[in-house]
Amino acid sequence: MGMGQFSQRCNMVYVRALLAACAGATAFGLGTAPASVAAARDEHAFRTSTPIKHVIIVVGENRTFDHVFGTYQPKQGQSVWNLLSQGIVNADGSPGPNFKKAQQYQAQLLGPAEFTIAPTNKTPYGTLPSPNTGGTHSAASDASPPPFAKHDAAAQAEGAALEPSDVDQLLSGASGLPTGAKDSRVANYNALMNGPYLLQPPLYDAYMGGPVHRFYQAWQQSDCKVAHATRENPSGCLGDLFAWVETSIGAGSNGKPQPTPFTDQTTGEGANALGFYNVNNGDMPYFTQLAQQYTMSDNYHQPVMGGTGANSIMIGAADAYYYTDGNGKPATPPSDQIENPNPLAGTNNWYTQDGYSGGSYSNCSDASQPGVGPIRQYLKSLPYDPKANCAPAHYYLLNNYNPGYNGDGTVLDRTKSPYTIPPSPVRTIGDTLLDRNIPWKYYGEGWRSFISNPAQSIYCNICNPFLYETSIMTNQQARETHLADLPDLYSDIGSGNLPAVSFVKPGGLLDGHPTSSKFGLYEAFVRKLVDAVKSDPKLWESTAIFITTDEGGGYYDSGYIQPVDFFGDGSRIPMIAVSKYSTGGRISHGYADHASLVKFIERNWGLPPITGRSRDNLPNPVQHNDNPYVPVNAPAIGDLFDLFDFRTAPNDHEHGHRHAEDDSEKGGGMGWWPF
């Protein structure tokens, strides 16, 4: 990048920030200056552009929008894009008149060959490969949960995180089947029609095998090609290779590949990706209640193709982390940690190097690197201009590796834990908040036990974007002030000391992950938190709770995908905004992903983008009246203000009025659309 381009980029960042501030002032007549920080700890010391003084971001695990809300029926006057509205399924979960819109294909990519995200020799499945139990436990056990065998053991483990009436959910749901076996709990498991299938009761209360959710697999499952594009789906991502990728490569391995020809059970994963729940049968009862009472997005996405680690990093940095020399400089990782999705000789789509033990890197600035070229070429073929956003000679983390730090701030020993990304120099929203003295905390369940004994903790270390970062983890005061445990959350709520920004992460038993948790447990975790906030009228008056998942877990979703850069976006995931200012059962169609959480914080507190390259620099989407799901100014990521209506807010000097339908974010022009 030349100096002229660099200056232009910086000027664009400044102008966007200035325009956002001016837009708020113009639209509501009561514009506010950027956040001024007073010495006092009172919540009103921090100016905001809305009545929201507290943001709580709650992150569960591994569910797409259609997997959760595929049959949701909105209130009158609202519309939703899901399996039901697309006619893919009926309200009872049976195949609908447009069932074939979601049919899955198998392909042949016989090695040695080059990786592709859009194979050309597809044929539809007759029946889907049988779903698999994966790593779910056959029986309850207090020694090896979940589930637990006894109430007392479950209460001791999670009694502080759940209401007493919810603890017994931890006692049910064992598969009764061997691990890695065909899942006969699913109706017609050996003869599933080719498309999404219903996980009928009582499977909502069961532990289930999970699909693959890794980076190159997700790109390949999405089957993106401009030749596939339509007016409704201008990016041409069909999402029709979920079952094939699951059964041909799945979660991958560095071991010996299976022999050719592949059967539909080569990886042992089956077609778990196509299962979905039905809210009309009583599944997802609490989240359905929240959707009916507050505001839900049906166009909110995981920001990265793949799994938990890279997507959780985006929540904090709106960017990707890269391999370093340990001192902040980019470096080249060990060769066995560099991703190579090119199929091995004698196999059908069995990747050469897929880092099964936790993650992988790619130098995505170099199109000659394995797997990189097809994605870069696809991005270039799009009618708008998404940048790859890959710095030269940087190897970016695409999947899951341990953060570089222990909980006490010491550097994790990579000779003992080789699947660990070195300490990261990448700035996060935590740094921005620290710069402005705006209080924030990351509340991760199990944090205290993680510090003392990481091996015995339920804490999700890869879920905490700040645990990777040198500037925070080497600062004892920052660690002790801003990284906390779940009991600290309820203590802060009860004492009136909840910070301006809170990130909340349940532990592995309650996060909703299909194999190690259940979505009903995540609902119960969220319900206790929401009830605690609402029990304090003053806190409820000034709080917005964003409820989402880290990523889709590899489950199928029918929604539109907007390619933003090399890393994604990926599938839609749930997003519900719970607030006094988000009531009414509305559904927002504005395009968003995890970077939108950062953008909301920045706009509300008058903060600049994290860096010059982070996704919070992208503009808010301009929606076309005929298709509000596709930004006409792509790539564009919303700031989630469209989930709220602040017109009923008190008229005081600390905030302007913000309406969900800001005219600056709507448009009638066709933009880049070629249709």
- pLDDT exceeds 50 at position 146: yes
Better-predicted residue by pLDDT, 551 or 1: 551
At residue 648, the pLDDT reads 65
- pLDDT exceeds 50 at position 273: yes
Question: What pLDDT band is residue 649 in, cutting at 50, 70 and 90?
Answer: low
- pLDDT exceeds 80 at position 600: yes
At residue 4, the pLDDT reads 33
Question: What pLDDT band is residue 266 in, cutting at 50, 70 and 90?
Answer: low
Distance CA 621, CA 384 (A): 13
- pLDDT exceeds 70 at position 264: no
Distance CA 169, CA 165 (A): 9
At residue 456, the pLDDT reads 83
User: Strands 543-549 and 575-579, how do they pair?
Assistant: antiparallel
At residue 252, the pLDDT reads 67
85 within 8 A of 79, measured Cβ to Cβ = yes
Distance CA 155, CA 162 (A): 9
Q: 371: exposed, middle or buried (C-beta count within 10 Å: 0-12, 13-18, 19+)?
A: buried
User: What is the DSSP code string of 356-416?
Assistant: TTT--EE-TT-TTSTTHHHHHHHHHHSSS-------TT--EE-S--B-SB-TTSPBP-TTT
- pLDDT exceeds 90 at position 665: no
Better-predicted residue by pLDDT, 253 or 633: 633
The first and second tokens of residue 26, run together, are 């113009």
At residue 671, the pLDDT reads 52
At residue 624, the pLDDT reads 82
Tell how far CA 257 is from the center of its chain: 30
Mean pLDDT of 171-186: 96
At residue 356, the pLDDT reads 54
Mean pLDDT of 641-646: 96
| Residues 6 or more apart in contact with residue 152 via CB below 8 angstroms | none
295 within 8 A of 644, measured Cβ to Cβ = yes
Residue type, 478: A
Length of the chain: 675
- pLDDT exceeds 90 at position 179: yes
Distance CA 506, CA 160 (A): 12
- pLDDT exceeds 60 at position 467: yes
Over the stretch 425-455, which tens digit does the pLDDT of each residue have? Answer: 999 999 999 999 999 999 999 999 999 998 8
| Among the listed residues 311, 280, 273, 275, the one whose alpha carbon sits nearest the alpha carbon of residue 74 | 280
341 within 8 A of 371, measured Cβ to Cβ = yes
pTM of the complete model: 0.90
At residue 34, the pLDDT reads 32
- 52 SS3 class: coil
At residue 29, the pLDDT reads 30
Task: Work out the percent of the chain whose per-residue pLDDT is above 90.
Answer: 81
Better-predicted residue by pLDDT, 2 or 421: 421
Distance CA 373, CA 367 (A): 4
| Residues 6 or more apart in contact with residue 75 via CB below 8 angstroms | 292, 584, 585
Distance CA 291, CA 293 (A): 6
Average pLDDT of the chain is 88
Counting other chains too, the contacts that 527-530 makes at CB distance below 8 Å and 24 or more residues apart are 527/163, 527/166, 527/286, 528/161, 528/162, 528/163, 528/166, 529/56, 529/58, 529/489, 529/504, 530/290, 530/578
Mean pLDDT of 468-485: 97
Question: What pLDDT band is residue 267 in, cutting at 50, 70 and 90?
Answer: confident
Mean pLDDT of 376-405: 96
Over the stretch 301-352, which tens digit does the pLDDT of each residue have? Answer: 999 999 999 999 999 999 999 999 999 999 999 998 999 999 999 999 999 9
At residue 645, the pLDDT reads 95
Report the alpha-carbon angle 608-609-611, nearest 5: 125
Q: 9: exposed, middle or buried (C-beta count within 10 Å: 0-12, 13-18, 19+)?
A: middle
- pLDDT exceeds 60 at position 651: no
Question: What pLDDT band is residue 668 in, cutting at 50, 70 and 90?
Answer: very low
Distance CA 452, CA 482 (A): 18
At residue 621, the pLDDT reads 97
| Residues 6 or more apart in contact with residue 305 via CB below 8 angstroms | 215, 216, 218, 219, 222, 567, 568, 569, 570
At residue 647, the pLDDT reads 84
| Among the listed residues 515, 115, 72, the one whose alpha carbon sits nearest the alpha carbon of residue 277 | 72
Distance CA 474, CA 472 (A): 6
Distances (CA, A) of 576 to 133, 197, 296, 545: 30, 25, 4, 8
SS (H, E, C) 428-485: CHHHHHHHCCCCEEEEECCHHHHHHCHHHCCCCHHHCCCCCEHHHHCCHHHHHHHEEC
The first and second tokens of residue 520, run together, are 């009903």
Question: What pLDDT band is residue 493 in, cutting at 50, 70 and 90?
Answer: very high
User: Strands 501-505 and 54-60, how do they pair?
Assistant: parallel
Distance CA 318, CA 593 (A): 9
